[in-house]
Amino acid sequence: MRFTTTSSVLAALGLASLAAALDAVQIVQQIAPDATSCPSPPGDCRTAAQAAPFIARSMHAFGVGCPNEMASVVALMAFESVGFKYKHNVFPGRPGQGTANMQMAKYNLLYAKAIPAVEGNVTDIASVDGLPDDRLNWILSLVTPDEYNFGSGPWFLTTQCGADVRAKLQSNVDDGFQAYMQCVGVTVTDERKAYFDRAKKAFGVV
Ligand SMILES: *[C@@H]1O[C@H](CO)[C@@H](O)[C@H](O)[C@H]1NC(C)=O
């Protein structure tokens, strides 16, 4: 017993989903170690424990099950949201930019169109080009409830990056992360790498 982790004890007791939830919290907490508390009222902020179930559920929903891919996606979301403190762009304050992935307004429109419960609100909007700031922020607000906010990472990877990026991620996590960041339009800075290194460790990938 002493050598058994809590989660495998729970799994042995048939509480597999509770075990999975505990694992998810531990994993997300390791990747965003500062995400232990939020101000009151929380505003944009979520703790790792609050974010983890939504992250786990959305990975499943988008069919992202490979640990290399999950590590890379959570690393990106945790970095972009500054440990889940923000879900809208604060600096320089670009209207319509946000979610845990901190993606640009045009992606938030595409993401909104991909969510059955939200799609009806944006059917008339073909593009974000020329939309006023309040409209861009309204589109963002459609995709920032928790159940969607933490799904933007897996959505972006699976719909906006080529199959080659996923193949690379699956075969070599480091090369894959480079390709993934290229798809996102950023480079692997030391700060990004710090989140990525913690994510690799948390997911047990090398
Ligand atoms: C989205 O559309 C639904 C009806 O389909 C409506 O009830 C809801 O208020 C709309 N949401 C927003 C934020 O406008």
Ordered by start, the domain boundaries in the chain are 6-203
Report how far residue 143's alpha carbon sits from residue 66's, in angstroms, rounded to the nearest whole number: 25
Instruction: Looking at the CA of residue 138, tell me the nearest atom of ligand 1.
Output: 13
Q: Pick the residue with more confidence: 38 or 7? A: 38
- Both tokens assigned to 6: 């809590």
Question: Relative to the CA of 118, which ligand 1 atom is closest?
Answer: 1
pLDDT for the residue 157 = 98
Summarised one tens digit per residue, pLDDT across range 86-100 is 999 999 999 999 999
pLDDT at 3: 46
Q: What are phi and psi of 114, to 5 degrees?
A: -90, -10
At 75, list the tokens: 């690393």
Q: Which tens digits make up the pLDDT trace of 112-138?
A: 999 999 999 999 999 999 999 999 999
CA dist., res. 194 & res. 184, Å (int): 18
pLDDT at residue 206 in the model = 82
Tokens of 96: 């319509």
Q: Which amino acid residue places its CA nearest to atom 13 of ligand 1? A: 142
**Which residues' Cβ are closer than 6 Å to ligand 1?**
120-121, 142
Closest ligand 1 atom to the C-alpha of 142?
13
Taking a C-beta distance cutoff of 8 angstroms, is the pair 96, 144 a contact?
no
pLDDT of residue 20: 75
pLDDT tens, 57-80? 999 999 999 999 999 999 999 999
Smallest CA-to-CA distance from 85 within 149, 154, 181 is with 149
Average the pLDDT over 94-113 and give the result.
Answer: 98
What is the CATH code of the structural domain delimited by 6-203?
A: 1.10.530
- How many CA atoms lie within 13 Å of 9's alpha carbon, on the beta-carbon side? 7
d(C-alpha 84, C-alpha 150), whole Å: 9
